[in-house]
Structure 1
Amino acid sequence: MPETMKSWHQEAFGLDNLLLSERPIPSVGEGEILVRVRAASLNYRDRLVVDGQLLPVLPEMPFTPVSDFAGEVVEIGETVKRVRVGDRVAGNFWTEWLDGPAPLEMINHAASLGGPYQGALAEYVKIPASVAVRIPAGLSFEEASTLPVAALTAWHALAETNPARPGDIVLVQGTGGVSLFGLQFAKELGARVIATSRSSEKLDRIAALGAWKTINSIEAAPWDERAQELTNGAGVNHILEVIGGSNLTSSAIAVAPEGTISLIGFLESGNFSLSSVPLMLKRARIQGVSVGHRASFERMVRFVEERSIHPVIDEIFSFDEVPKAFRRLEQGAFGKIVVSLEGQSRDRRSS
């Protein structure tokens, strides 16, 4: 094994300060493993961290960003029993949340990969063995790299907390990673999916993936009225709320009695205000969802394998194209943006 690796890191916040250089390969201690990264995928959170936003306690510099990756174990520390050299793994985002109730550290983002802990935009990454999760056998490293945050968030919302049942109606917003995974999981759980987007072209594509109904949120504004029409006034059982802000008001109108709004994102705003009476009368709930624990990840992996689910990838960038990959993320991808450490860039939008 070489002594150094290529790694993206920053000495100051901002995408323009993200630099590619040679750095020492991390040494492995007790209970830790070293993973050769084969692919990483980008989340909206990663861009916020790169810009010095979101985290209440900023990571120490030099800092390597990005939480999601897939690779193979090349070294294990003493006492490690869960994985072996050669295993294909990803890392659970929350390093202290392995099962059950979430630990208090999560409130301050104090124990997450890719900020404040060092991230995966490097040829090798060191993680606690306890967070390693074997990736689905049928997925490439590029596909598997999309699972730790986007897929697990959708899975935890729809399969772990108040699970979707056959016949339920699930509404997903936009065509980002969480929403498209939500579509795929909901279908396999027996639910029907309504998808919203401001783009007719993207709605055509999401319909081809199996959405039951689609809503152009510009042409059908407010979209909640159209959702009520499509459900004959019954409303939507599960809503993956990734926009936030004033959009949450529409979700509160569209949700069915005893339905669930999973608050996941804040693309519009991190603040919201809405009338409490409709939610009270409907006995509906708003639940915050922040990815999931390792046990949930492992159950999701088995489900992905059993149902032969393949993530939707918008575009694959080579390792030296990381700034370009982040810019594509800002444009509004259809699915996930992936950085491959072993291949050329590929546009998947037409596939």
Structure 2
Amino acid sequence: SFLKFGRLVKIYFYTVTVLWKLMRTEKKILKTKSLLILFVLLSQFFINSCKDIDRNTIAIGLNTNPITLDPRYATDAISYRLIRLLYKSLIDFDEEFHAKPELADWEKISPIHYRFTLREKLNEFHDGSLLTSEDVKATYESVLNPEKISPHRSSIAMIESIEVVGRNIIDFKLLYPDPLFPGRLVIGILPKKLISKKHNFAREPIGNGPMKIVDFKNDNHLKLLRLHDNKIIEFITLKDPTVRVLKLLKGEIDLIQGNLPPEIIAWLDQKKSIHVKKKIGNTFTYLGFNMEDPIVGNILIRNAIAHAIDRESIIKYVMGASARKAEALLPPEHWAGNS
């Protein structure tokens, strides 16, 4: 009944509030874990009292909305991951983060001259038009255009000129040598004709990736079509991690992504109906300082702050031993991680 549903919702939110307050103090961590498990059991009761959902899609729960689906402007992680499904770039990376061909192969003609040749089988946009070197040129010139204010402009500022040699061949000439230059060409390629028309790629992306847009009218709900089997993939924003878990257990979503309490992950890992997949990550958490500030601009102050942070305890108690100490910006798995 609606009354029963309302009471359960009230209990749910009250429990979340209590758990959050308890988790803020290290002394009550053991008590928090016990209460959290009890809360999940309560959630299980809540879930079983609801009706099953019948759908024919794959639904993924996200922890935040994508800000934009235009690869020229995306900087947040969610937008970037979705853009990789919608667009292809000239290059990609292997597991050690070495640049490898995606849309194109390349050759280094000189330290300041690189030639890229597009691969024939990948050259078609979702609207049916062919992807050519003209589209590559238009995409990167758009990023380099200071009036467009792309946040990625500085990463390719060494480009002096872009020249179309043939339908599938394009040359990049640089202002100065950059041995890592191929790895900088990670922007998804856009159709030249739509760039000139100022198409709204942020909401209506046209790329040539493994998925294409179906619907993005609601900021919290994105639908993509997976091209190889015509399956609809839904991306639903659920900012509360507990709500994502509830919907996963209920069957309203099939996968969840984003931050989850370590206790919940451990509990889910014990359920036969849930598959928890773990992988070493390459993201990191950091403190940034204003180097022009008279206090934190002093290296002795920054050293003191660094020594005052108990990283071992943060990893053990806050992150549930699901992280590792970062000794540099790059992880050890990166080809330059141990340099």
TM-score (norm 1): 0.23
Which protein is richer in strand relative to its size?
A: 1
Larger radius of gyration between Structure 1 and Structure 2: 2
Greater helix fraction, Structure 1 or Structure 2: 2
Instruction: Compare relative contact order (CA 8 Å, sep 6+) and give the higher one, 1 or 2.
Output: 2
